Structure 1
């Protein structure tokens, strides 16, 4: 599947080294995700707060990538699927 939302990917700088919202609340996270539209770093769906998904719902920014060392996959919330590695903008 080709993701039409990949065109929204920008060259971003992470806005934090951890989940901004969890850090502010004193909470913990499981894994981190980075928004590829604005650079916001937030916790994954396995974390109790699911801040990355909340960021998508609030902003409409559909593409994230793992912010975990050694991981290079990307996900589209709109399509509920990984980005095709052959698609422009799909790999970091």
Structure 2
């Protein structure tokens, strides 16, 4: 393994998106075409900062919700399954 690979942290991609919910108790959106795709980020810290910024901009709309999706879990489900106590699909 090269020294570069050892010093560069592994990309753990996270998607940040949001939209207006039909019901505050659920996660079904009123308009899929109107979803706000904030972006894809290389780590949770950057995704969280983007999520927080987007959520704060929509604070006056109680039906608007933003989410962070751990894309690296979807791209590498075997890695998630290998962690103790984790179950894929749970």
TM band (smaller chain) = 0.3 to 0.5
Scaled by the length of structure 2, the TM-score of the pair is 0.35
**Which structure: larger Rg?**
2
Structure with higher strand content: 2
Structure with higher helix content: 2
Which structure has the higher relative contact order (CA within 8 Å, separation 6+)? 2
